[in-house]
Amino acid sequence: MEYATRTIYSEYAALKTTLGIIEVKKKRPRDPLTDQSDRLLIVIEAKDDPFWTVKHYQIGQEKIVLHVVSDSMMDRWIVLNENRRAIHWIEDGMVLFERNEFLLELRQRLRNFSNEEQRLQLSLAFAKLLRRFEDGRSLFLQGEYQDAFTQIHHALTHLARLSILEAGIHPEIILWKQVRKLDLEVYKLHEELVSGGEELEQRIHLVIIGMEHLIQSKVLPGTLLLLQVMQRQEEPWSFSELMEHPDLQELRVDLGSIISFLVRKGYVRAVARPTKGVGVEAIAYEIS
């Protein structure tokens, strides 16, 4: 079997662009970490553009899945938390091939990710938290309790990720096991929502109240990236200037809700500017 598996990845090991090859074996039936296959092979190649393709193989009774991914795509998975399984693959997988200690350095990076990566991940988690929480609270006030439950549960998940990221750790697939050790208050809110003894309406109401307090405590770590960008010039920023800033590209979708939240909470001030249109003013933003 090992020889047959080697025939699948050996052609990639011969390429100068291949940086590393990892094998992950299933630990349980229908293991999601291995795409429900018996073995997972991950080939990481040096390419500037994000690239990812998947191939399926059969050797005897065993199913093997091969992922060929560029290092730039792997960066997106790690930095933007787009594929949390990748963290398990890198941490737990067996190294079959690596060039210039690429995988060793990648594992070290996972355990000690940079301040820039941490700020971006915190900002993304906070943006998603705000969106889900505001949608959930709005649905709750409309009496749509089932849909409100779904949104608030998603918001709690992003709140949990924020707590983990603040500790300098990458969120894993087994998220609530991590949170129980790191932030018991968030964990208890989750327990209240999913298994509290009250009626659904009351459970959601109690969790919304608790989350409002916790969200306030996450404002600074969750918006530090944006506030640092805004400090770089003395003049107020137009919204389009913020959207176009290279450091804020990943926040574009949720930037409006973050700015509105910061204005409501007094961290950012909206400044009216005259335009050529009679009675029309453009709005810019500056730190309060």
- pLDDT tens, 95-145? 999 999 999 999 988 888 788 888 999 999 999 999 999 999 999 999 999
pLDDT of 4 above 70: no
Which residues, listed in sequence order, are joined to residue 39 by a DSSP beta bridge? 25, 64
What is the model's pLDDT at position 280? 84
What is the model's pLDDT at position 1? 56
Query: Measured in Å, how far apart are the chain's first and last C-alpha atoms?
Result: 64
Residue 188: φ, ψ to 5°: -70, -35
Residue 18: φ, ψ to 5°: -80, 125
Give the span between the Cα atoms of 173 and 66, in whole angstroms.
21
Confidence category of residue 56, pLDDT binned at 50, 70, 90:
very high
What is the model's pLDDT at position 92? 87
The predicted-structure confidence for 208-239, as pLDDT tens digits, reads as follows 999 999 999 999 999 999 999 999 998 999 99
Give the span between the Cα atoms of 113 and 116, in whole angstroms.
8
Cα of 201 vs its chain's centroid, Å: 29
Give the span between the Cα atoms of 42 and 96, in whole angstroms.
10
Residue bearing the bigger pLDDT, 88 or 1: 88
Residue with tokens 């609530």: 176
What is the model's pLDDT at position 20? 96
Which residues, listed in sequence order, are joined to residue 271 by a DSSP beta bridge? 284
Give the span between the Cα atoms of 43 and 18, in whole angstroms.
7
Nearby residues of 171 by Cβ (< 8 Å), 6 or more positions away: 81, 84, 160, 161, 164, 165, 178
The predicted-structure confidence for 161-198, as pLDDT tens digits, reads as follows 999 999 888 887 788 999 999 999 999 999 999 998 89
The first and second tokens of residue 71, run together, are 């290092």
The first and second tokens of residue 164, run together, are 């983990």
Give the span between the Cα atoms of 268 and 230, in whole angstroms.
10
What is the model's pLDDT at position 112? 80
Confidence category of residue 64, pLDDT binned at 50, 70, 90:
very high
Cα of 281 vs its chain's centroid, Å: 36
Residue 219 exposed, middle or buried by CB count within 10 Å (0-12, 13-18, 19+): middle
What is the model's pLDDT at position 2? 67
Helix (H) or strand (E) holding 217: helix 200-217
Predicted TM-score of the model (pTM): 0.84
